[in-house]
Amino acid sequence: KEFGKVIRPKKVIAEFFDRNGKKQKIEAEELLAQAICHEVDHLNGIVFTDLVIPGTLEVVQDDNN
Indicate which residues carry an active-site annotation: 39
| Calpha distance 24→18 (Å, rounded) | 7
**3-class state of residue 9 by DSSP:** coil
**What's at 61, amino acid-wise?**
Q
